Structure 1
Amino acid sequence: MSQSSTLSPAPAAGNRNTIGRGAAPLLVIGAGPKAIALAVKSSVLRAVGFDVPEVVAVERDCTAANWLAGRGWTNGRQRLGTLPEKDLGFPYDCTAWGDARDPVTGEIARRMAGFSWASHLLDRGLYARWIDRSRPQPSHREWADYLEWAADRAGLRTVIGDVRAAELEDGGWTLTVDDGTAPRSVHGCGLLVSGPGPTAGALPADGTRVLDTAGFWKLAVEGFPDGVRNVIVVGAGETAGTIVRELALGQDRKVTVVAPRATLYSRGESPFENRYYSDPTGWAGLSEADRQEFIRRTDRAVFSQEVQSDLALTTNVSWEPGRVIGTQPADDGVAVEIAYGGRHRVHRADLVVDATGGDPLWFTRLLGPRAEDALWAALGGAVTRERVERSIDPSLAVADLPAPLHLPNLAALAQGPGFPNLSSLGLLSDRVLARYAPGVHTDDTTVAEHRPGTRPAERVTASGLNHMDNWGAIQR
C-alpha cells in the first residue's frame, strides 16, 4: 500500500510551522488515477534530473478507493469503460520535456513504460493470460489493483483524512485535514482537485426509495430486496450507464431510463473523435460551439459503446424522454413526475436512482476567504461553471491566481476533452508538472525549448536530483 504520513496538529495563530515548507510538494485532493499519474511522472522526471515537485495526495479512504466495492461508485465488478492501454502514461509522448531525438526524452518514455498496464500484468504474471483471453476490459477492482501497484512503485505519499479547508498562503496552498483525531495542515506549492467529489444529484435522496449514486452501489453490494422489480434511473451519462447495466443484467430488474433527449445515445467513437482525446493539438482553434458540441456528443449524457452493446442483450431496459421534476411516496413505491414537451406525466417505480452526477464546483465549499476572493478576482465575478471552464490555462489551472489551482475535471472546453477522464493521463501529468519546471512551457502546439541531443541542464538543480529526500522537510 502507498505510504501515509502522520501530520502535525494545525498550528495556532502566530505559529505557522505547518508541514510542507521548504521543498513544498504538489498537493492533490484524492488518491485516484490523476494523483497516481502525477506521482509516476514526477518520480520519473526527478530521476532523470528535472526539478519538479513531489506529489502528495490527501485521501479520506485509501488509494484508488472509487474503484473498489463499497465506496459509493462501483461494486468492483463493472468493466472499465476506457481501454486499459490508455493507462497512467498514455499517450507516452514526452516531447513536452525535449525534442523527440533527445536521449533524455527517450529515457522518460522508457521509464514511464515501466508503469504501464502491460508492465503491471507482466509483474503479476498475468500478461500472457490476458492476451490469450483477447485482451478483455479489466474490472474496476482489477484496475484498482493496477493503480495501487503503480502508486507503490512511484512512492506516492498519501495523507489520510478529510480536507476541511483550502487556503492560499505563503505563495502556495494550505489544506486543513481532519484525520479523526485533530485538525492538521499540509502546505504545497500548488493544488490539484481530482475525483468527482461527493455524490449528488437533482433529487433529494431518502436512502430507501430514492437513492443517489453512492446509495445505489451500497445497496448493490448489500443485495437488492426481492420487492424491488421496477427501477427508474435518472441520467444518461456513463455513471447512469453502469447503473443501468448492473440493474438490467446483474440484478435482472426492469429499468426505465429518464433522459433529456429523445433516445439513449452512444458515445461517438472513431479515430476522428479519439484523436482529440489522445492529442488535443488544434483543439483551441475550434470554435467554442464546436467544442461544446463535441464534448456533448462524445462525453456527456451518452453511454459508452461497451454499455450499449451489453444492454442490447436484454429486453429489460426502456427509456422516457424528459426531466424528473419531483417524486413522492406511493403504495410502497415512488411516484415520479416527468416533464417533457410542455406536458407532465407520472410513472410509478419501486425504486428511483438519481445518477445525474455530482457538482463539478464542489471544491469551492472548501475555499478560505483569501482563496475565495482570489478566485472571484481571477474569474472577474461570481464562480460559475462556465467562467471556470473558460479560465483554464495550458497547465489545467485557473489563470491569474496567486498559486496554481489545477482543475482537470473542468478543463475539457479550454484544453481538450481527455483531461477530465482517463483518456490522456500521461499528457495531463506533463501539462501540470511543466508549470513547476523552470524553462519548460507546454500547450497544444509547442514543446519545451532545448537543443536535441543535449541534457536539459539549465532546468536541473541539485534539489531536483535528490527530491525524494525532501519528505523529511514536509513532515516538520
Structure 2
Amino acid sequence: MSQSSTLSPATAAGNRSTIGSGGAPLLVIGAGPKAVALAVKSSVLRAVGFDVPEVVAVERDRTAANWLAGRGWTNGRQRLGTLPEKDLGFPYDRTAWGDPRDPVTGEIARRMAGFSWSSHLLDRGLYARWIDRSRPQPSHREWAGYLQWAAERAGLRTVAGEVRAAELLDGGWTLTVDDGAADLTVRGCGLLVSGPGPAAGVLPADGRRVLDTAGFWKLAVEGFPEWARTVVVVGAGETAGTIVRELALGQDRKVTVVAPRATLYSRGESPFENRYYSDPTGWAGLSEADRQEFIRRTDRAVFSQEIQSDLALTTNVSWEPGRVIGTRPADDTDDTVAVEIAYGGRHRTHRADLVVDATGGDPLWFTRLLGPRAEDALWAALGGSVTRERVERSIDSSLAVAGLPAPLHLPNLAALAQGPGFPNLSSLGLLSDRVLALYAPGVRTDDTAAAEDRPGDRTAERITASGLNHMDTWGAVQR
C-alpha cells in the first residue's frame, strides 16, 4: 500500500531542504490517527480559504504503524474497540468554523465526508460487503489501511526518523530527528505529541518469563510457545483486554488478570456517557471529582464491551483483585514465575508459566525529549515540577499546556480538563477543530473565546506576534 509522502534531506539543494512554503507547520510526533485527522482537516480548511498551518508528522516507521504487527501494540488482527463511524471527521460539527448556514461551512462538511470510513470503503469497493456483513468492527490492520488511505489523499507530509530532542526556539518548536544516518532539524509553530510512547510497566521484563506489551505481541506474531499454558496479565485497561482476548481465545491459554479493583469492569456505552465523548459541552462545569469518576468508570482500567462479550464465550479467564508488587522464580523450579500480589493489606502469591505486564505507556514520556528552555518553560507554566496531575489541570481549550511561549498540544492528557474523548478515537474531528482553531486568524469558537478571555492564556496572540511573523523559512530540515 502506498504511503504518505516522506521528506528526506537527500532531496535538498546542497545540505538544506525546506518543507512546503508560506508559513510554519504544525509538527506532530507520530503519524497515527491524530496526525492524520489534523492533516485531513488542515487540507480541507486550506482548500476553502482558511489560513491554518500544514501538518508535518515525524514518524520512525510508517503511517499508522502502531495499528500493525511489529510495533508492539497489536498483531493487527485485533478488532477496533471504537465504532469505525467515529472516524477522522467525527463528530462533524458544522458550527466549529462559522455559521452552519454559510456555504463555506457546508463545503467544509462536504469535503470532510470524503475522508470518512464509509468513503474509504466506497473507494475500495467494499462498502456493500461491509453493510451486508452487519457492519463488523474492522481489525487493527484494516483501520491502519483506512488511516493510510486518508493520509495519502490529504497529502500528509512525514519526516522519517525518531525524535531525539524538542526545544523552544524563536517562538516555535525545533525537533532534532535521527533518520538513521544523521540528525535533522525540523521547525514548526506548534508541537502535538501523539501516541502512547514506549511501554512503561510496573515490572522489569526479562524477555522470557516476564514480558512487557511489546514483548508479548512480538511473541504472538512469532508463534506462542507451548510451555506457556498459564499466564498472568497485569492491568485492566484496553491494552490488557486485547492481550487477554488473544491469549484466551486466540491461543487457548488459561489467563488470570490481576486488576486493582474488585472485578473486570466494562466500559460505559450508554448514550448519556457517550455524549460527553462526542460533545464535551458542559464538561468543564462538572466538579473535578465527578470528571475523574466519569473517566475512571468509562475509560480507565476497563475493558470495552466488545472484549467483554468475546471473553464471555470462554471459561479460560479468571481474575484476582490487587496490585502486583514483584515477581520471582518459583521456589521449586525455574520454569514458573511466582507473582507477588498485594490487596487489602495482605500479600499472596500466584504461580504462572508467563507474566505479561500490560499496564500501558507512560503519559509523560515526551518530557524526556525536552531541551533546557522547553523544560524550564514547562516548569514555569505548571508552577512547579512536571507531574501528570499538574499537566492534566493545565490543558486549555486547544488541548495545549497554557502559558508556554509556543503551543505544546497534549491530547492524551486532555481528558480531565477538556473532555474524555480527546485521548482516544472518540472525537478526532473535534480534536482537529480545537487544535487548528488556535492558528486560524479571526476564528473564535466558544471554547477558544473562553480561553482567550482568561488572564495569562494568550497563546494565539503570542504566535501571531512572535512566532509566524519572523519564521521566514519554516519547517527547515537541515544537517
Q: Normalising by structure 2, what TM-score? A: 0.91
Matched with 1:88 is 88
Q: Decide which of 351, 354, 360 is 2:354's aligned counterpart.
A: 351
Q: Secondary structure at the match of 1:344?
A: strand
Deviation at 1:94, TM superposition (A): 3.0
Deviation at 1:442, TM superposition (A): 3.0
Go from structure 1 to structure 2 and tell me whether the alpha carbon gap of 1:389 and 1:11 turns closer, same or farther (over 3 Å shift): farther
- CA deviation vs aligned residue, 1:158-213 (integer Å, no higher than 9, x gap): 11101000000011000000011011110000000000001120100111110010
Deviation at 1:16, TM superposition (A): 11
- CA deviation vs aligned residue, 1:324-369 (integer Å, no higher than 9, x gap): 000012279x110000011100011000000011110000000000
Go from structure 1 to structure 2 and tell me whether the alpha carbon gap of 1:465 and 1:179 turns closer, same or farther (over 3 Å shift): closer
Go from structure 1 to structure 2 and tell me whether the alpha carbon gap of 1:4 and 1:242 turns closer, same or farther (over 3 Å shift): closer
State the distance in 1 between where 2:453 and 2:342 align.
Answer: 59
Go from structure 1 to structure 2 and tell me whether the alpha carbon gap of 1:468 and 1:176 turns closer, same or farther (over 3 Å shift): closer
Matched with 1:372 is 375
State the distance in 2 between where 1:410 and 1:298 align.
Answer: 16
State the distance in 2 between where 1:375 and 1:252 align.
Answer: 48
Go from structure 1 to structure 2 and tell me whether the alpha carbon gap of 1:173 and 1:214 turns closer, same or farther (over 3 Å shift): same
- CA deviation vs aligned residue, 1:439-461 (integer Å, no higher than 9, x gap): 11235597999999999999999
- CA deviation vs aligned residue, 1:42-91 (integer Å, no higher than 9, x gap): 00000000000000000011100000012100000000000000000000
Q: Normalising by structure 1, what TM-score? A: 0.91
State the distance in 2 between where 1:363 and 1:64 align.
Answer: 19
Say if 2:413 is the partner of 1:410: yes
Q: Which 10-residue stretch deviates more, 154-163 or 465-474? A: 465-474
Considering only aligned residues, what root-mean-square deviation do their CA atoms show, in Å?
A: 5.0
- CA deviation vs aligned residue, 1:107-136 (integer Å, no higher than 9, x gap): 000000000000000000000000000000
Matched with 2:157 is 157
Q: Which 10-residue stretch deviates more, 365-374 or 447-456? A: 447-456
8 Å contact 2:199–2:213 — kept in the other structure?
yes
Q: Secondary structure at the match of 2:205?
A: coil
Q: Which 10-residue stretch deviates more, 1-10 or 461-470? A: 461-470
- CA deviation vs aligned residue, 1:204-247 (integer Å, no higher than 9, x gap): 01111100100000001001111100000000000000000000
Go from structure 1 to structure 2 and tell me whether the alpha carbon gap of 1:461 and 1:386 turns closer, same or farther (over 3 Å shift): closer
Go from structure 1 to structure 2 and tell me whether the alpha carbon gap of 1:474 and 1:225 turns closer, same or farther (over 3 Å shift): closer
Go from structure 1 to structure 2 and tell me whether the alpha carbon gap of 1:254 and 1:22 turns closer, same or farther (over 3 Å shift): same
Go from structure 1 to structure 2 and tell me whether the alpha carbon gap of 1:470 and 1:72 turns closer, same or farther (over 3 Å shift): same
8 Å contact 1:84–1:117 — kept in the other structure?
yes
Go from structure 1 to structure 2 and tell me whether the alpha carbon gap of 1:215 and 1:124 turns closer, same or farther (over 3 Å shift): same
8 Å contact 2:27–2:190 — kept in the other structure?
yes
Go from structure 1 to structure 2 and tell me whether the alpha carbon gap of 1:397 and 1:203 turns closer, same or farther (over 3 Å shift): same
Deviation at 1:470, TM superposition (A): 9.5
Go from structure 1 to structure 2 and tell me whether the alpha carbon gap of 1:446 and 1:125 turns closer, same or farther (over 3 Å shift): farther
Deviation at 1:95, TM superposition (A): 1.3
State the distance in 2 between where 1:115 and 1:131 align.
Answer: 18
Go from structure 1 to structure 2 and tell me whether the alpha carbon gap of 1:129 and 1:438 turns closer, same or farther (over 3 Å shift): same
8 Å contact 2:405–2:462 — kept in the other structure?
no
